Each structure stands twice: as structure tokens, then as C-alpha cells.
Chain A
Amino acid sequence: MKTTCPLCAFEYEPGDESCRASGCPFASKACRKLHCPRCGYSVPDERASALARLVRRLLGERPRVERVQREATDAPFRLSEAPVRTRGAVSHIDAAPALSAQLAAQGIVAGTVLRLAQRHPAFIIEVGETVLAVERSVAHSVWIHPGDPTVADSQEPHA
């Protein structure tokens, strides 16, 4: 999982290889720091910190590392993997016909622009003025293109 150095903005894959390559003597699985191989700047690994996860959850956010990764790619991904506040257009729905029909009746079809407002305890999805609560497996079947399609001028939630 890639991360971006907050000091030099270099994007790197944290882990043993890059750490060892930079010559860090503490490079091991027990290490709880992310070490930029370009500038050497190190930050605590949020993913390894239960407290950081709690704070993020209290603020309704996902760990930053994950969001950075999502912004870096244009490929469609599952809504269940999207960080909170992701906005994008539905690429396709990978679900059994019953769920596809149910989602279509709720206005969610390929091309519909939606926003993920929350992930726990249920996934909260905003489609125009409609707000839906769905379980994780439903969010897992919806693939979205990341990005921020402009829909602010109408009710039309189509990209």
C-alpha cells in the first residue's frame, strides 16, 4: 500500500525492502514508522496505531494512507473499499439480479453519481437528495470511478 511523504511528497511503498534499501537498522516487521526512502523523513504508521484508528473513526475518517492510494488511481474500485466522502460515478454493478434490480429501483445504475458519507455501522450513500443505508456486501457490489463529477447545478446524479 503506497503512501506519500508529507515532507517531500515522494510516493513510496513502505515495508522491509524500501526500508532496508535506505539502510535503516530498525527495518523489521516490528517497526511502527514509515520512512521515506528519498528524504529520510519518518512518520508513525497510522495503520499500526489503534489510537490513531480510533481518532480517525471518531472524526468519521479512514486512515490517510488508504485515501492517498485511492486518489492516485483512476481504475474503478469497489465502494466498500472507498474512504469516507469519496464521490464518483458508478462504473458498473457486480451483483445478483435481485440486488441490481433493487438498486436500480433506488436510482443506482451505471453512470449514477454518488457520495459515500459513512462506512460504519452501515454504509451511508448519498445519491442526489436520496440517502441510502446499505450493508457492506451491497457496497461491495458497486464499482465506482473516483473523481468529483460536477453535479452541483441540478438534481441529476448522472455523470
Chain B
Amino acid sequence: MAPRKGLGAPALATVGATSDHGRNPQTNAIDDQTRRIVLVGNPNVGKSALFTALTGHHVTVSNYPGTTVEITRGRLRIGSDNAEVVDSPGVNSLLALTEDEQVTSALVASLRGNPNAVVVQVADAKNLRRALLITLELGQIEVPTVLDLNMTDEAEGHGFEIDTQGLSEALGVPVCRTVATRARGVEELVAAISRARVPLNHFALPEEARPAVARLKAGVASELGAVDLRVVARYTEALLARADSLVKSYVRRRRGPTGAWLHPDRLAHVLGALSVHPVWGWPMLFLALGAVYLFVGRLGAGTLVDLLEHGLFGRLINPAVGALFARVPWPFVRDLFVGPYGLVTVGLTYGLAIILPIVATFFLAFGIAEDSGYLPRLAAMLDRLFRAIGLNGKAVLPMVLGLGCDTMATMTTRILATRKERLIATLMLALGVPCSAQLGVLLAMVSVVPASAACVWLISVMATVVVVGWLAARVLPGQVGLFVLELPPMRMPGLGNVLAKTAARVEWYLREAVPLFLVGTFLLFVLDRVGALPGLIRIGEPIVVGLLGLPREAAEAFLIGFLRRDFAATRLFDMARGVAGLTTIQLVVSMVTITLFIPCIANVFIIVKERGWRVAAAITAFVFPLAFAVGGLVRWAMVAAGTWGVR
């Protein structure tokens, strides 16, 4: 390989980062002009943490595989040069088997022959064998590489001693040691980038495995035939044998994991074992759900909403803005901001006073769950239950993520192995998984109805999800992949990481959801001013009044529910607390109907992007009528039961 241009003394600087939303993996190819540093490695080895340490730009880091499903780019200043740093989805092998692995495979394959591209392979120092599989593959692709042994603190805690120098000589690449979460060793790593070399791969490859190398260099497609897969398996076996001999030569384990019972590592290990235990795993699960309910449902949706809605907005902001606009001589402007469909009195109050505290507390709880490593264990616990709806336990990850945001979760369905699973998971997310904002409002609504009525809501939604999933599993062609999921070690969540993640998500909410709230409010305002709202309400009357038995005004809520269902839920909640109020049956029917709505317009767009417009159109045409039909059915059943009144 030709000598590389020196990069000078490392001096880290932040310039920023972007995510490749909407880009096709094949177009992630890198041009030859700019110096590119591509972070590659197994899932959950700290690539995103290293990306943050290198660029200073926060990206979501979690303790479960599948956090990064897209390419993220940032900038790093090295001396006087600017370099682009690219974070890629984690892979177990560059011979991609899943859609998310394909993104990285195509990216790495595109680096061949680019003299300005360097791969920094991030490895979990405790688990070198599997990392070396990728190093050897990088050697086959012939891409200059630096091997970064990350999490060396944990490896030392587990008693591993790695001969870095020997390993570097055997592989022919610089080998560095880092603790990315604490930015330890990062400057040395940057300095080593100028010495990147193609990893040596002088070992005998079985003849039958050779076609895999060509495939590796080309950046393989994810749908492989049986013959190809056999070749891939044989090839991987040969590389692992080489990796084993390297590990045997350069890694020693002097002692076991730290022995003290109260050592955090040991406690985390015990907790991890308990959380997937056949018996104790279930109380742990209910304990976790209970804690989330108390934190989000009571603290977020109760105390904090009260403080913001009645305190800050009710007593300070809204009266002040009302007084300000009272002096405005034009009723149109006055009504636009502080009227019954006012941007401040409705749009901002809903977005900031009611939804914000709920999503903030949910994101905080979710961040803790993510970083602890509990989510993959939850997947292992629920694998068998998910089989009933044509999915396997791996689908728990997008489903739980959907409780945060269905739009983001729809992208995470890429971690599922087959098209059928991805399709069912996308449908389930659109149909029955409420996002954090909506969940919070629903929990608040639950608190004003009797427990039996709340059960009707829960059972109706769950039954709809199970029946639709069960039918989809039988109607849709294709296979369900086998459940094989890596369980990362349980860890004490880092306060800084959890808070930074929560802040990033809250910012995302403020940027994406609040403007849509304002647009929805403005839409209602305009419709009201031009006199079209009564007409639309009349059109919706047969469904809203006739089928669902709700007041005519509820049609407004469902109308804006097409934009964001949490906005609609908030509107219905507001109606319930109003002068006329809603009966128990009306509340439950509206809760069921709005829960089953497609989450938001952004979710439809992401389905178009991920699965194509046909699927998006089919899901939209299926979900909305189904939501109204189930709502009508629930109303009929509740009236027939006669327990909750007659309306």
C-alpha cells in the first residue's frame, strides 16, 4: 500500500454531525476528495460513543444492538485538516445478513481504492475474537484500518491482558486502546489514523469459501440464496479459526471478573441473570413497568402537567398573553393567538404544558432502560408471546422504542431479519403502539375513568393488536426469522449519557411535534373562520355521533388526529374535563379509537420511505377504518353490558 499523507498532531474540534435520513445504502459511497474516517464494528461496542468523543456531537448511544440504523456523519479537525467521521450500524460480519448490516457492508465496500478513506474498527476489548472476524474481513476487502480496542477498563476488570504490540504486528495495523465513554485514549487513536494499513490476511482460505470474498468486496445484498449462505458460513468459520489462533497468542486472562459481591459488575451480572430468569424475570418485568407508570403516569402526566398547565400557563402565560392581545384592535389576530383555536391558548399549551412533561419523563425512563441493557433481556422474555403475532422477540426492540416515538421505531424495524417481520412490525407500530406523548395523555385519561373501564380500553387495544397480528402472520407470505439476539452486559446507566439523550430527544420533540401542533391548531382556526368546520363536523357526524356515540365536537379531534393522534387525544382529554364532559363510555370509545389511529403524518412518511408508498397506502387505508370500527364495537359492547351507563 502506498504511504499515506500525514495528518499532523491530533487536535480535536467539533464541527457538527448529520444523519443520512432518506439515503439509500448504496448511495452512501464516499467521494475520493475528502479524508474520511469510518467507524465500523460489532453492535454495542461503543462506536457511537467514540463518534461523540471524536466529533463532540452527541448521537444516541444505547446498551442494545440496533441503536444506529443509519449512517451519521460529523467532522473532526486533525491539525490543520478537516476530516469527516462516519458512524455506521453495528455488524457481526461484513457479509451482511440483515438490512441494517447491509448499510455498513455497502459503505465499507465503497471505500476500496479510496486513498483518503480509513476504517477505524471499534472492538470490545473483552470480546476480541468476534472483532477479529471483522478485522480479517477488512483485510480481505483491502481497506486501510486502525483497530481500536475500546472498553479496555471493562476488559481489565474482567482480568484480560492484551498484548497490543504483538497483535499490531500480527495484523499489520495500528492497535489502540480507548475508553470512549470517558474520551480516554482518543488522541492517541487520532494520531494512529495516519499509520492505518490494510490488515494482513496471510492464511489459507478453504477453496469453497473463496466466492464469499468476491461478494465481500462488492458489498453483498441481504437476500442470499442457500448456496451463498453455505459459502458465507464456511468462510466465517475459516476466519474465526484464524481469529481464535490470534486470541490464543495475544490475550491472557489472569483472573476472573472482580470478586467482591458488592462490586457494580457483579451486581449488574446478577441483575442481568434475574431479569431473564424463568420465574424472577416476570416480577422484574412488572416492577419495571410499575416504576415507569409511577414516573411517567403519576409524576409526568400528573404532578408536572398540573404545575405547567394550571400554574405556569393557566396563571401566568395565558393571562399575560391574553392581556397583551386584548389591546390588539383586530379580532382576527386576537383569535389567532388567544381564541378558542388560538396558537398560544391551544397549540402551545397542549405542546408545552401537557405533552412536554410527559415525553420528557418518558424519555428519561426510556434512556435508563436503554443504557442498563434491560431491553434485549425483555426481548428474550417476550419471544414466545411475540410468536403469536408472527414476530419474534427481536421485534420487542422496535415496539418498546415505539413507546417513545413510532416514527423512529419504524426505522428500527430494519433489525428484523425478514420482510414479513418488518411489515408486521411496521403495521403493529402504526396500529397499536402509542407513542410517549399519546401514552401520557391516555394514562391521564385512564386516571379519570373507573378501573373496569380502563381495562376495557386496554383489552380492546391489545385484542385488536393480537387479532390483526395473528391474521397478518397467516395472510402475509414469507417466513419469520429465528430468534438469535445478543444480550449486552447489564450496566449502571451513566447519568450524563441518559440526560444528554433525554435532552436530544426533547429537542427533537420540540422541533418536530410542536410545529405540527401549531399547524393543527392553525388548520382548525382557518376552518372555523371560513365556516368549513361545521360542514366537516356534519360530514363526520354519522361516524362520530352515529357509530361512536360521541359529541359532534369530537369530530374536530379526529380531524387533527390525522396529523398527530396525541394532539387529538389531548383535545378529547380537554373535552372530557370541560363543562359538558364525556361519559365513561364516550371516554373509553374515544381512547380506543384514537389509540388505534396512525401515530402522525411523519409516521406515514417514514413508512413510505422504509416500505414504499403501496405499503403506506395499504396500512393507512386499513388502520383508520379499523380504528373507527373497533371504537364502534366497543361502544356497542359497553352499552350492551349496561355497567357504565347507556350512552
Contact = CB atoms under 8 A, between A and B. Distances in A.
Interface of A: 57-58, 60, 96-107, 109-112, 117-122, 124, 128-135, 137-138, 152-158
Contact of A105 (B97, B227, B252, B276): B97
A156 B273 contact: no
B233 A121 contact: no
B484 A130 contact: no
A98 B227 CA distance: 10
B380 A155 contact: no
Given A132-B487, A154-B248, A100 B253 contact: no
A110 B237 contact: yes
A54 B95 CA distance: 44
18 contacts: A57-B278, A97-B228, A98-B224, A101-B95, A102-B482, A107-B129, A109-B241, A120-B278, A121-B384, A122-B384, A130-B130, A131-B486, A132-B486, A133-B485, A135-B383, A135-B393, A158-B244, A158-B248
Contacts of A58: 279
Interface-central residue, A60, A98, A110, A158, by most chain B CB under 10 Å: A98
A132 B484 contact: yes
A101 B229 contact: yes
Interface in B61-115: 92-93, 95, 97
A99 B247 contact: no
A133 B380 contact: yes
Contact of A155 (B97, B126, B241, B381): B126
A61 to B, nearest CB: 11
B392 interface: yes
Interface centre among B93, B227, B233, B486, by most chain A C-beta atoms within 10 angstroms, is B233
Contacts of B381: 121-122
A38 B315 CA distance: 89
B325 interface: no
A156 B251 contact: yes
Contact of B484 (A111, A117, A138): A138
A138 B483 contact: yes
A32 to B, nearest CB: 24
B141 to A, nearest CB: 16
A118 B487 CA distance: 13
B240 A107 contact: yes
A41 B278 CA distance: 34
Contact of B236 (A104, A128, A153): A104
Given A105-B95, A121-B380, A156-B244, A135 B253 contact: no
Q: Which 9 A-B pairs have the closest CB atoms?
A: A97-B229, A133-B380, A104-B236, A120-B278, A105-B92, A100-B233, A105-B93, A135-B483, A158-B244
Interface string B273-293: 100111101000000000000
Instruction: Tell me which of A102, A104, A130 has the highest count of chain B C-beta atoms within 10 A of its own C-beta.
Output: A104
Given A106-B486, A122-B276, A156-B244, A128 B127 contact: yes
Interface residues of B, number: 56
B611 interface: no
Most buried by A among B236, B277, B485: B236
B483 A152 contact: no
Contacts of B241: 109, 111, 158
Nearest to B277: A60
B233 A122 contact: no
B160 A155 contact: yes
A5 to B, nearest CB: 30
Interface of B: 92-93, 95, 97, 124, 126-130, 133, 158, 160, 224, 226-230, 232-233, 236-237, 240-241, 244, 247-248, 251-253, 256, 273, 276-279, 281, 376-377, 379-381, 383-384, 392-393, 417, 482-489
A104 B240 contact: yes
A133 B248 contact: no
Contact of B482 (A104, A138, A152): A138
The residue in B97, B240, B379, B393 that gathers the most chain A C-beta atoms within 10 A of its C-beta is: B240
A131 B275 CA distance: 14
B229 A121 contact: no
B383 A99 contact: no
Nearest to B126: A129
A97 B126 CA distance: 29
Given A133-B483, A135-B392, A122 B383 contact: yes
Contacts of A104: 93, 232-233, 236-237, 240
Contact of A106 (B126, B128, B226, B484): B484
Contacts of A153: 252-253
A111 B489 CA distance: 24
A155 B384 CA distance: 32
B253 A131 contact: no
Contacts of A110: 237
A155 to B, nearest CB: 5
Contacts of B129: 107, 128, 155-157
A106 to B, nearest CB: 6
Contacts of A135: 383, 392-393, 482-484
Contacts of B417: 102
Nearest to A60: B277
Given A152-B253, A156-B129, A101 B483 contact: no
A101 B97 contact: yes
Given A133-B380, A153-B253, A118 B484 contact: no
B483 A134 contact: yes
A156 B543 CA distance: 65
A121 B92 contact: no
Contacts of A107: 92, 129-130, 133, 240
Contacts of A99: 482, 484
A81 B384 CA distance: 19
